[in-house]
Amino acid sequence: MTPAFIAIALGLALLLWSADRFVEGSAATARHFGMPPLLIGMVIVGFGTSAPEMVVSALAAAQGNPGIALGNAYGSNITNIALILGLTALISPIAVHSQVLRKELPILTAVTALAAWQLRDGDISRFDAVVLLAVFGGLMAWTIRQGLRKQADTLGIEMEQELAVRAMPVRRAVSWLVVGLALLIVSSRILVWGALEIAHGFGVSDLMIGLTIVAVGTSLPELAASLIATRKGEHDIALGNVLGSNLFNTLAVVGIAGAIHPMAVGPEVFKRDMLVMAALTLSLFVIGYGFRGPGRINRIEGAALLACYAGYTAYLIGTVFVGQASARLLSIQ
């Protein structure tokens, strides 16, 4: 069991380091070839912060472990809102005053509803995956087109600055891109192996490990980005980072995993995890929108989000112990 925990720690550390190198190399390469700041900010940052989820879920699906693939995606969404936004708001209240939230939150709500509708039959087929990827592609194309119509790409410039993209020779940039991608794959394999070993060792499902350990680990880039943005007073970036990441997870991460290997989904995913994810998404309408003035996610609301995450995690752990106790009783009888 000890090697599995070492693999989890090593895999997460290498995953985060390689994702950072991949993003830095990609952004520097894109800048060298004249890509607009908006595209660097939205495409590179978006794919970069969601790269751990995408690679981990894709590998898990390819190895026939849909529980980790799906748990990682939906668990990351829950972690992003409840843990990351909650912790960020607790440290520094998040002002909500831009049109970014007013456009992205309704879209995220609609995408969450689509995901819930697909789960109603307990299966994510390749057709479902293609639909998710098609919606994702359409949203990306529409968002980029809308952004490029504007005279000033302020959001893209700000997001690019958050990367602290350094000028570097194109050969070095491409090298970081390739090395980062290769290590992303290697570290994801290590992480998935460790997660499976822990799941089998403790007698819990792959889904449970995906919703907890793997989801928190792959969400660390979003946590770092949100905390840095909030510290600099860029609340829109902190909030947009979480909403954008959830769109990536729901559409691209699940879509890629489902396209690789169709996934049978247990009823608990729809009745428990999807319900929690949808409730947290809808709660942002209440705590984020300012109906009598600028909205604000204050410290009390941040603490409430953290309490929701703690309660959800405690419930997951509780179901594991109850299930194991029931299994022991049945074996005795």
Q: What is the pLDDT of residues 243-292, one digit of tens each?
A: 888 999 999 999 999 999 998 888 888 889 999 999 999 988 888 765 55
CB 260 within 8 A of CB 124: no
Which residues is 123 bridged to in the sheet?
Answer: 264
**Percentage of the chain exceeding pLDDT 70:** 76
Measuring CA to CA, which residue among 191, 248, 269, 273 is closest to residue 54?
248
Q: How far is CA 7 from the centre of its chain?
A: 21
Winning range, highest mean pLDDT, from 93-107, 158-172, 269-283, 293-307: 269-283
Give the pLDDT confidence score for residue 165 in this predicted structure: 47
What domain count does the chain have? 1
Q: How many CA atoms lie within 13 A of 122 on its CB side?
A: 3
Burial class (CB in 10 A: 0-12, 13-18, 19+), 218: buried
Alpha-carbon span 242 to 225, nearest angstrom? 9
Buried-state track 185-206, b at ≥16 Cβ within 10 A, e below 16: eebbbbbbbbbbbbbeeeebbb
Structural domain boundaries enclosing 134: 2-325
Tell me, yes or no, whether 43 lies in a domain.
yes
CB 156 within 8 A of CB 275: no
What is the CATH classification number for the domain harbouring 283? Answer: 1.20.1420.30
Give the DSSP H/E element, type plus range, for residue 255.
Answer: helix 254-260
Q: How far is CA 15 from the centre of its chain?
A: 14
Give the pLDDT confidence score for residue 43 in this predicted structure: 63
DSSP classification of residue 63: T
Tell me, yes or no, whether 333 lies in a domain.
no
- The set of residues, in sequence order, having a beta carbon less than 8 Å from that of 311 and lying 6+ positions away, is none
**pTM higher than 0.85, yes or no?**
no
CB 76 within 8 A of CB 87: no
Give the pLDDT confidence score for residue 93 in this predicted structure: 84
Tell me, yes or no, whether 330 lies in a domain.
no
Tell me, yes or no, whether 225 lies in a domain.
yes
CB 146 within 8 A of CB 5: no
Alpha-carbon span 158 to 179, nearest angstrom? 26
Q: What is the pLDDT of residues 18-66, one digit of tens each?
A: 777 776 777 677 667 666 555 555 566 666 667 788 888 888 888 888 8
Measuring CA to CA, which residue among 12, 8, 41, 10 is closest to residue 27?
41
Tell me, yes or no, whether 130 lies in a domain.
yes
In the chain, the amino acid numbered 58 is: A
In the chain, the amino acid numbered 134 is: A
DSSP classification of residue 294: S
Alpha-carbon span 29 to 171, nearest angstrom? 9
**Percentage of the chain exceeding pLDDT 90:** 22
pLDDT greater at residue 152 or residue 174: 174
CB 168 within 8 A of CB 29: no
Tell me, yes or no, whether 108 lies in a domain.
yes
State the chain's mean pLDDT as an integer: 79
Tell me, yes or no, whether 270 lies in a domain.
yes
Which residues is 264 bridged to in the sheet?
Answer: 123
- The set of residues, in sequence order, having a beta carbon less than 8 Å from that of 130 and lying 6+ positions away, is 255, 259
Tell me, yes or no, whether 332 lies in a domain.
no
CB 294 within 8 A of CB 96: yes
Does residue 323 register a pLDDT over 70? no
Q: What is the pLDDT of residues 196-252, one digit of tens each?
A: 788 777 777 888 888 888 888 888 777 777 777 777 676 666 777 788 889 999 999
Alpha-carbon span 238 to 116, nearest angstrom? 26
Does residue 77 register a pLDDT over 90? yes
Q: How many CA atoms lie within 13 A of 187 on its CB side?
A: 26
Q: Which two tokens stand for residue 75?
A: 């668990």
pLDDT greater at residue 37 or residue 187: 187
pLDDT greater at residue 131 or residue 183: 131
pLDDT band, very low/low/confident/very high, at 324 (cuts 50, 70, 90): low
DSSP classification of residue 233: T
Give the pLDDT confidence score for residue 322 in this predicted structure: 67
